[in-house]
Structure 1
Amino acid sequence: MRAFISGIFLLMIMNSLHAQDSLKTVELKELVVTGEVEPQSVQKSVYNVRIIPMERLQSRGATRLQDVLNTELNIRFSQDLALGGSNLSMMGLPGQNVKVLIDGVPLVGRQGTGNEINLNQININAIERIEIVEGPMAVIYGADALAGVINIITKKSLDDKINISAGIHEESAGDEYGFSKGIHNQNISVGYKHKSFYFSGNLNRNNFRGWQGDSAAREKEWHPKTQWMTGAVMGYRTEKLNAYYRTDYLHEKIYNPAQFQGLEAIDQNYITKRVMHQLQLSANVSEKLNLNTAFGYTDFERRTQSIAVDKETGRETIANSALQNTDQFVGMTLRGSILYKISNSINLQPGYDINTEKGRGSRLKDGENSISDYAVFLSAELKLSSFASIKPGIRVVKNSVYHAPPFVPSINAKVTFSEKHDLRLSYGRGFRAPSIRELYFNFYDASHSIEGNPDLEAELSHSFNVSWNARLLETDVLKLTSTLSTFYNHVDNMIDYGVKTGNSATTYININNYKSQGITLNNTVRSSKTELSVGFAYTGRYNALTEADRNLPEFTWSPELNGSLIYHFDKSFQTSLFYKYTGKTPSYVIHPTDNTVILSETSGFHWADISVKKSFAKYLSISAGTRNVFNVTRITNSSASSGAAHSGSGTTKPIGYGRSYFIAINFQLTK
């Protein structure tokens, strides 16, 4: 079977290469905005940027961001089935060190045991592209940007026409599908532009009915989840001015049915509400002067609703008030910058960045806590010659709780050896104050026992990145590019989990230091019909136990291999394959019973998605495919329980809910 599939893909490539009459390689002028003084191409940027365009999201039939990012190198997800969320890590660092932005504005609402943004709470149908910048971005974006930035660029209606689109997505959850099983999603969006004014709005409903798996009769291994997402943007754009207001609303309900204990079961609903407001303005005052400002306000609420269910009658009543909880986090961002072009070779960008967050709820210390971060920064872009440019930067921070270092510096450089080869180098100093959750939030339920630690120290880091980019072949019919990169991160006072003395609860602690390093190789072949990519990553994670026993290795290493193939039979019909192998992840831990050091391993697994898409004229498209081809549900985890955030010492980790099949129908009308 594998040989047959390989042969089919080889024939696709050969057919693409020999169809000389239709082969015209299109040079994609991908513009990036993350961290830049002004939009510029990926090739010119001093940062190592990956772009995931809207077309790739659509070709995968993705219903959530995890469906797209889970086959990217250096990005991994873990599932918290108890809370129904997902957490990510990037470049060997946890998600608490990854900054998630919506149009450059930080996303508020870190939750769960990992203190991370749940990317699956973002409306994927409103995304134009995703920009991933690997490496430190603390000078421009401040805290939480030690590992890098994921900037989600949303759609705006900029065509001089009316645009209406609607879609239906039906998918099984493993082998489960029906009215009360599987995935049932619907979306609709409208857009309109008249002269310089534009408007767009969207409404999206995601209904995941859960997955039973091997759970008992009433419980589900993956909880049912319903999401309502809606948003709107209105703006005014000319050559000199671009101003817009955007609002987004999320309502998510996760249902956690429980086993009956006697004649009663205590079910729980996890209800999340998030309202985001953005106001952005960019003005070209002159050829040398550009002003940018952005304001964001987010109200995030997470509520646990406990319901008592009578076994005999099925009657539901609100459970004891002690089992009801509501936590609210309000965040505000105000940032602005000035781009001043002193000459063709020198640009200056001074700016300010204000971020505040306030939390309130019964599980927070004193019921209400807040933390604020005030910063000014200065970045410059210096073109030393036609082949070399550098981008130094400095950030000065005032935190309401912690003493930041006197300044946070960074420097990025790009050296162009020829039209086909360039080298990028970067260094960045990072500063991250603990979040409100890490400091003051106490979280107890049947699966978690976590206490905040107000005595935490702030994290400080040094990060180095080097990447070599080569355009090895560029002809009218074929384009081959390759990127080889390496990174090294050193974090002092890294915040991690530990066991609290006295009550054995899990709490947050500062470990002395943490390191990660790795190497990544990406290769891409493009023609008019085919886009083929193959990549490899090898990441080392620091083994803290080596400080006590020098016979242990300093790093434990884990490989990743990914590949993708998008083939266009013609303009209206394409097929896609996305694959990733996540290698086994070793780590050294202390056994909880005899205090000996043992080697723990999380086993590796293969993941693949296959899809086809057919367009009919300009108005209708149908996509169908298979997700999780290798039918992965859980992987072996040999780690012994040693007081982790989750109670118990399970021998497996959840990955997916089995091989699934989907079909999606999308309708679009433009006028």
Structure 2
Amino acid sequence: MRSKLFLLSFSFLSFSVFAQEKEQDSLINNLSEVVITGQYNAQSVKKSVFQVKVISREDIDRQAGNNLADLLNQTLNINIIPNASSGKSSVQLFGLDAQYFKILVDNIPIINDEGLGNNTDLTQINLDDIQQIEIVEGSMGVEYGANAVSGIINIITKKNSKYKWEITPYIQEETIGKEYNLVDRGRHIQSLKVGHNFNEKWYANALITTNDFKGFLNDKKGKNHIENDGLRGYEWLPKEQLNVKSLISYNLKDHRFFYKFEFFKETTDRFDSFVDDGHHTQTQTTRPRSADEIFESERFFHHLNLTGKFNFMNYDASFSFQQQKRNVETYNYWIRTGEKFDVKNFEYESRDGFYSKANFSNFLKSENVDFQLGYEISEINGYLSSIAGLFQDNIDRRLGSYDVYGSTEVKINDKISIRPGVRALFSSQFSTQTALSLSSRFFLKNDYELRAIVGTSPRLPNYEEMYTYLVDVNHNVQGNPDLNPEQGVSAFLHLNKISKFKSGIQLSNKFSAWYIDVKDRIELIIVNQTPLQYQYRNIDVYKTIGTSFTSSLNYKNWIVNAGVTFAGVSKVLDSQENHSDDFLYGFQLNANLSYRVEKINTVFSAFVKYNGPQYQFVNQENENGESILVRGKQDGFTWLDATVKKSFFKNNFEVTVGARNILDITTINTTSVEGGAHSGPPTNILMGYGRSYFMKLLYKLNF
């Protein structure tokens, strides 16, 4: 597949450029960007009662980001948490992990191996058909239901084109650290996107992308290493991805529908570091072998959306069926001959189900008052093999959620708007929950804008917390199916100021302050001392407070953005005998700049983010064997990327070259993690695979 796409891409590069139309690529951020997330109707950022951060298509292209993990690494208040042993990357926002954060595509939560919208692997979200990405920080339970405690990311896909035909192939080659060749090293990406306007009403597109990550060896020796010295395998696992997407849309004057389909497939190879030399005493020969695994994930995504307006109301309704399944193949491997034996295949984990969401608004036809009513329904079947965790049996459960919600937006005058809202969450598994919100926007003197947003959202327990079962002569660790959802509440304050000067400078500043409180936090606690027994209970509290300041300057061919965050985290760990509820503070800095050289049609960009030290209280033993509480530290580190994008042939052919992780970050030191039951705490955390270089060649055949 990869070689065919490679040849197909370059066949388009040889096509005559005379059929092209000039397409300008503006670096200037449009201050009146239209946003969708949380709105009754698509509207400008300025009119939204929510503070919505927009990552544009131009921003994505400047970073040459292929998946969501590539892109969000430079975003303030967001940490990307890679897992080299599984190949997955998750997101952390305000110190809360991916269970508290929701990722949506066109307002629909994405199903994955472990959840619906939450616990999403960012490397599985392809960006090739994305129009823009919208981020809202803070609890969004009224608009988006459970598990939207710390915020949401809404990915808006492209659904139209100004051209009759739009054909875009590209290839992208990257090194993985210092490792690269065309066969079994590096990262190799190929893509082909085709869009067509049949007439004024009908539009369709299709996309196919392959992403072949060959893994990162570092000091490892790969799958064919025959010595039992712990060096067999990879530090970052090899994996290959295939994305196939299609869309068809139909537009009338007052109504529109679209249907989207996506097929995603990922294959991840895991090689055991232990090698059995297979020593044969009679012949004094060896036949080394190892036990390996291949994980294969497949996702099917269907989404039908109907949007429009009648004389008496506006409507927006979506219906989605999704399925993601992760299978595993286990086998023994004769290393010298490359033969497999004792091959076994079984389902590892899966999710599938139906989802529907609809809202109705604009009943009053008033410019000052509007209200919205809506529902959200999901029927999700989840399966988890007993070997996927500490489970006594395979877990096969259904979770039905049936929510209704409503809000009212009142424009008190030209300067003040407020929006209260409420949602009732009904579930087949948990007691009825509620989510509340109150958002307000104030236009102040001298073009200042003030937004105040308070919201709540529950977080539902996961399978590990409910169904863990490890009971033997040495252990008694159990889940708790009677757990209650955690309760999250947040309050945000945003002050914005946009200034325009006669010199042509546009300056946008934003100051934000926030407070997030998660009650009934689920933790594993000791419920019996003799014999020692553990169980998950609703017991702890998590709090974070913080402030941030961001600034954006546009002047002629320059764009400069910078931001700083200072935040503190407090964990009230009633689940532990020794704990402190003091706030531990840290900070982040980020900046990026771009400059366009008009004469040579080239854009130079640089992106930098400093993640300051993070602190956490951990229990350690002193010299007398007593448990004491100490402040652990995870070292800070800086992530620096740079790109150069040059356009040829009236902007139809683009070449982007660049470097990621220029400061060569691989691991960072830590004393902020406690050890396990039978192991000491880790002393470092794997964060990257070193400095890497890439080149992207993209061609636009538009006519």
CA positional deviation for 1:49: 0.8
Do the aligned partners of 1:506 and 1:643 also contact (CA within 8 Å) in 2? no
Q: In structure 1, the residue corresponding to 2:362 is in which secondary structure?
A: strand
**1:98-155 CA deviation, whole Å, 9 max, x = no partner?**
111010001111549x971111101111211100001111001101111111001112
For the pair 1:373 / 2:405, whether they are aligned, the reply is: no
Q: Which residue of 1 aligns with 2:290?
A: 265
Q: 1:431 is matched with which residue?
A: 458
The question of whether the paired residues in 2 share the 8 Å contact of 1:97 and 1:147 is answered with yes
Pick aligned residue for 1:239 from 253, 256, 270:
253
Alignment of 1:392-407 (within 5 A): 392-405=420-433, 407=434
Provide the secondary structure at the position in 2 that maps to 1:326.
Answer: strand
Offset from partner CA, 1:316-344 (integer Å, 9 cap, x none): 124467xx542221132111111124211
For residues 220 and 507 of structure 1, what CA distance do their matches in structure 2 show? Answer: 35
Q: Which amino acid counterpart does residue 189 of structure 2 have in structure 1?
A: N
- Range 627-636 or range 424-433, more displaced: 424-433
Counterpart AA for 2:250: Y
Question: How many correspondences in the alignment?
Answer: 639
State the partner residue of 1:101.
104
Q: CA deviation at 1:159?
A: 2.2
**Same amino acid, percent of matched pairs:** 29
- Offset of 1:345 from its aligned partner? 0.1
1:614 aligned to 625, 642, 646, which one? 646
2:80 paired with 1:77: yes
**Mapped contact 1:591–1:640 kept (Cα < 8 A):** no
Greater alpha carbon shift after TM alignment, 362-371 vs 570-579 = 362-371
Q: Could you tell me how far 1:356 is from its partner in structure 2?
A: 2.2
Aligned counterparts of 1:656 and 1:24: Cα–Cα separation in 2: 29
Q: Is the 8 A contact 1:428 1:463 kept in 2?
A: yes
Aligned: 1:331 with 2:315: no
Deviation larger for 101-110 or 591-600: 591-600
Query: Residue 593 of structure 2 aligns with which residue?
Result: 565
C-alpha deviation, 1:372, in angstroms? 1.4
* Bigger radius of gyration: 2
Instruction: Pick the aligned partner of 2:306 from 274, 281, 289.
Output: 281
| 2:668 is aligned with 1:659 | no
- 1:461–1:48 CA distance, 2 compared to 1 (3 A): same
Q: CA 1:204–1:312 in structure 2 vs 1: closer, same or farther (change >3 Å)? A: closer
Aligned counterpart for 1:510 among listed residues 524, 538, 541? 538
Is contact 1:174–1:660 with CA below 8 Å preserved after alignment? yes
- 1:219 Cα deviation from its structure 2 partner: 1.2
Instruction: Note the alpha carbon deviations across 1:7-48, whole angstroms, 9 max, x for none.
Output: xxxxxxxxxxxxxxxx99775420110010001111111111
Residue 668 (structure 2) aligns with: 635
Distance change >3 Å, CA 486–CA 506, structure 1 → 2? farther
Aligned to 1:190: 194
1:368-411: CA deviation from partner (whole Å, max 9, x where unpaired): 20111111111111000110000110111211111124x42210
My pick for the range that moved more, 423-432 or 95-104, is 423-432
Q: Return the offset for 1:310.
A: 1.6
**Is 1:253–1:272's contact at 8 Å kept on the other side of the alignment?**
yes
Say which of 314, 319, 322 aligns to 2:338: 314
Q: Deviations over 1:450-502 (max 9, x none)?
A: 97542322111221111111114444611011100011111111234568979
Structure 2 SS opposite 1:657: coil
Alpha-carbon separation, structure 2, partners of 1:373 and 1:431: 13
Measure the CA separation in 1 of the matches of 2:582 and 2:554: 40
Structure-2 change in CA distance of 1:65 and 1:527 (3 Å) = same
Does the CA contact (< 8 Å) of 2:643 and 2:658 recur in 1?
Answer: yes
Q: Matches of 1:164 and 1:339 in 2, distance apart?
A: 37
Q: CA 1:665/1:525 → structure 2, altered by over 3 Å: closer, same or farther?
A: same
Tell me, yes or no, if structure 1 residue 465 matches structure 2 residue 488: no
The 2-side partners of 1:355 and 1:210 are apart by 37
Amino acid at match of 1:603: D
Task: Give 1:633's aligned amino acid.
Answer: T
Q: Which residue of 1 aligns with 2:53?
A: 50
Deviation string 1:287-326 (CA, Å, 9 cap, x unpaired) is x5211101111101012221210234331124467xx542
Deviates more, 1:546-555 or 1:355-364: 546-555
* Residues 159-178 of structure 1: pairs in structure 2 closer than 5 A: 159-178=162-181
> Which residue among 595, 614, 619 is the counterpart of 1:585?
614
1:141-160, aligned counterparts within 5 Å?
Answer: 141-160=144-163
- Structure 2: runs of 5+ lacking an equivalent: 1-25, 222-230, 278-287
For the residues of structure 2 that align with 1:442 and 1:548, how far apart are their CA atoms? 21
Measured in 2, the distance between the counterparts of 1:596 and 1:26 equals: 52
Q: Which secondary structure does the structure 2 equivalent of 1:591 belong to?
A: strand
Q: How does 1:484-523 map to 2 (within 5 A)?
A: 484-496=511-523, 508-523=536-551
2:217 partner letter: Q
Please point out which of 378, 385, 388 is paired with 2:416.
Answer: 388
Matching residue's letter, 2:661: N
Q: 1:419 deviation in Å? A: 5.2
- Alpha-carbon distance, 1:181 to partner: 0.4
Q: Deviations over 1:235-273 (max 9, x none)?
A: 101330110100111100111111213332111112111
| Distance (whole Å) between structure 2 residues aligned to residue 418 and residue 60 of structure 1 | 37
Residue 129 (structure 1) aligns with: 132
Match of 1:305, SS state, is strand
Q: Distance in 1 between matches of 2:545 and 2:641?
A: 29
Post-superposition offset of 1:442 = 7.0
Distance in 1 between residues matched to 2:470 and 2:332, nearest whole Å? 21
Residue 158 of structure 1 aligns to a residue whose secondary structure is coil
Pairwise CA RMSD of aligned residues? 2.7
Distance 2:532 2:259 in 1: 48
Which whole-Å CA distance do the structure 1 matches of 2:60 and 2:534 have between them?
A: 38
1:360 to 378, 383, 386: 383
- Shift of residue 545, structure 1, vs aligned partner: 4.9
Looking at structure 2, the residues matched to 74 and 640 of structure 1 have their Cα atoms a distance apart, in angstroms, of: 21
Change in 2 beyond 3 A, CA 1:243/1:633:
same
Question: Residue 327 of structure 2 corresponds to which residue in structure 1?
Answer: 303
Q: What is the Cα deviation at residue 579 of structure 1?
A: 0.6
